[in-house]
Amino acid sequence: MSDKSILEQLDAVLEARKAESADSSYVASLYAKGTEKILKKIQEEALEVAMAAKDHDHQANSENQAHLIYEVTDLWFHSLVLLAHKGIASDAIISELQRRFGLSGHDEKASRTES
């Protein structure tokens, strides 16, 4: 078992895929198709998250919960692919979440309109 978090491990794989061929790697195939294709995947995955969340609203059972988790994971994964494509590691997102931690969304929005 690795000491590294799954995000760190995935970052390393996403970086390494930059040297792989599109035939051998799904991630490399997305890089080869470029930003527009990655964004299209993110849009598709976001739509699938919305549909899964609505199914869960309609019927909150373990199957629909698992489906929602699966679709959000697809969305996170493709977002990480976009970041890697742009040369950004996932720890930048972790740092931004840490920076925001404890700061109320209402307070943050108010500080934006005041300045």
Binding site for ligand PRT (CB under 6 A): 10, 13, 17, 25-28, 41, 44, 74, 77
Least separation in angstroms between residue 62's CB and ligand PRT is: 21
Closest CB to ligand PRT among 48 and 55? 48
List the Cα angle 38/44/26 in 5-degree steps. 45
Closest CB to ligand PRT among 40 and 100? 40
Least separation in angstroms between residue 107's CB and ligand PRT is: 35
Least separation in angstroms between residue 86's CB and ligand PRT is: 17
Rounded CA-CA distance 83/92 in Å is: 10
* Among candidate residues 64, 47, 46, the one with its CA nearest the CA of residue 55: 64
Closest CB to ligand PRT among 15 and 63? 15
Least separation in angstroms between residue 37's CB and ligand PRT is: 7
User: What's the per-residue H, E or C state across 22-86?
Assistant: CCCCHHHHHHHHCHHHHHHHHHHHHHHHHHHHHHHHHCCCHHHHHHHHHHHHHHHHHHHHHHHHC
Closest CB to ligand PRT among 91 and 108? 91
